[in-house]
Amino acid sequence: MHCHKAFCRTPQLLALMIAALAALAPLAACSPSPAGDAGRITVIATIAPLADFVEQVGGDSVSVTLMVPPGADPHHYEPTPRQMVDVTNAAAYFQVGSGVEFELEWMDNLLAQNPDMAVVDCSAGIVIENNDPHIWTSPRNAVDMVRHIAAGLSLVDPDHAAEYEANADRYVGELRQLDTDITAILADGMERHFLIYHPSFAYFARDCGLVQLAIEEEGKSPSPHLLQDCVDLAAQHNLQYIYVSPEAATSEAQSIAEAIEGELLYVDPLPDSYLSSMRAAAEAFALEIE
């Protein structure tokens, strides 16, 4: 296995992590592996929405460790020594699998910590559009992801397979109702465009017949020319809002909002409570398309 570039780039960090892991080793040795508290299996999920899905399916039989915590950026986050210890105790890792940068950067290192850990690709069978990794913002995609989670949990913990399948059936029903509700919330608006800083809601928009206009491109701060293009698009479509995620609110977004005499509205692409947050996002977008 090739040396991971994050470690190669920062050898001091590697030394610190090794020292920290050594200090935490007694704790790891005392932890049952791969079972968690009260006999629950320990599993890992990359982002908060995926952890929510795993918790919904796993119920009381699963303990979920979240790798990228709320408010952190999956494009730049690095795991802590404590998280690396959690990985050594995990029965399975549930990855988004759609090109989330954290997974591209860190999966080899995480697997090196626990080669016996099962890895479940929750994007299997989902079409990745325009290299956009944010597949989970579509409740329809979330249904497929939940099915993959149930299958993965049943594989590593067959004694509770019936429980996982029942929980998945229940939650899939809630996701389908969410999709119906979102479609209804966004059905009547004449304007179908919205302007967002980080392009994280394309799959959501596709499902609802909306058009996402992104300010940021390829993770780079927008140029003055692009900022002016965004102002022109807002004028063309009579847009009043700039949508931003909590971790991506920027001065550029605020400047565009001021230029169009509009305001910022927050939508969270990485919620830890998926159902309520996606409904809230739909209601926020509905303000623009009315």
Residue 27 domain-assigned (yes or no): no
pLDDT of residue 37: 60
Short-list 195, 177, 174, CA closest to 287: 195
- Shared domain for 41 and 172, answered yes or no, is yes
pLDDT at residue 203 in the model: 98
CATH code assigned at 220 = 3.40.50.1980
Residues 210 and 104 in one domain: no
Contact between residue 198 and residue 242 where contact means Cβ atoms under 8 Å apart: no
Pair (196, 160) in one structural domain: no
Give the total number of structural domains in the chain.
2
Q: Minimal CA–CA distance to 114: which of 96, 87, 133?
A: 87
Q: Are residues 124 and 252 in the same domain?
A: no
Structure confidence by residue, pLDDT tens digits, 177-197? 999 999 999 998 788 999 999
Position 208 pLDDT exceeds 90: yes
The residue out of 163, 181, 199 marking a domain boundary is: 181
Pair (274, 150) in one structural domain: no
Highest mean pLDDT among 18-27, 75-84, 178-187, 244-253: 178-187
264: nearest Cα among 242, 287, 289, 237? 242
Confidence bin at 287 (pLDDT 50/70/90):
very high
Q: Is there a domain that residue 71 lies in? A: yes
Average of pLDDT values for 212-217?
89
Contacts 24+ apart (CB under 8 A), 226-230: 227/252, 227/255, 227/256, 230/195, 230/256
Strands (E), 178-278: 193-196, 211-214, 241-244, 263-266
From 181, 215, 246, give the residue that closes a domain. 181
In this structure, are 124 and 249 located in the same domain?
A: no
In a domain, 18, yes or no: no
pLDDT tens digits, one per residue of 192-202: 999 999 999 99
272, 214: one domain: yes
One domain, residues 137 and 156? yes
86 and 103 assigned to the same domain: yes
42 and 149 both lie in a single domain: yes
- 102-111, 204-213, 254-263: which has the minimum mean pLDDT? 254-263
Query: pLDDT of 155-167, one tens digit each?
Result: 999 999 999 999 9
Range of weakest confidence among 20-29, 47-56, 196-205: 20-29
Q: Rg of the Cα trace of the chain?
A: 21
What are the backbone angles phi and psi of residue 40, rounded to the nearest 5°? -75, 145
Domain range holding 106?
32-181
- Phi and psi angles of residue 147, each rounded to the nearest 5 degrees, phi first: -65, -40
Whether 97 and 161 map to the same domain: the answer is yes
Q: pTM, whole model, 2 decimals?
A: 0.85
Tell me the pLDDT tens digit for each residue of 120-130: 999 999 999 99
Distance from C-alpha of 81 to C-alpha of 86, rounded to nearest angstrom? 9
- 67 and 148 in a single domain? The answer is yes
Q: State which of 29-38, 108-117, 214-223 shows the largest mean pLDDT.
A: 108-117
Does 5 fall in a domain? no
Q: What is the pLDDT of residues 220-276, one digit of tens each?
A: 778 888 889 999 999 999 999 999 998 766 788 888 899 999 999 999 999 999 999
Q: Identify the pLDDT of residue 89.
A: 94
Choose one of 130, 160, 181: the last residue of a domain. Answer: 181
Is the pLDDT higher at 96 or at 218?
96
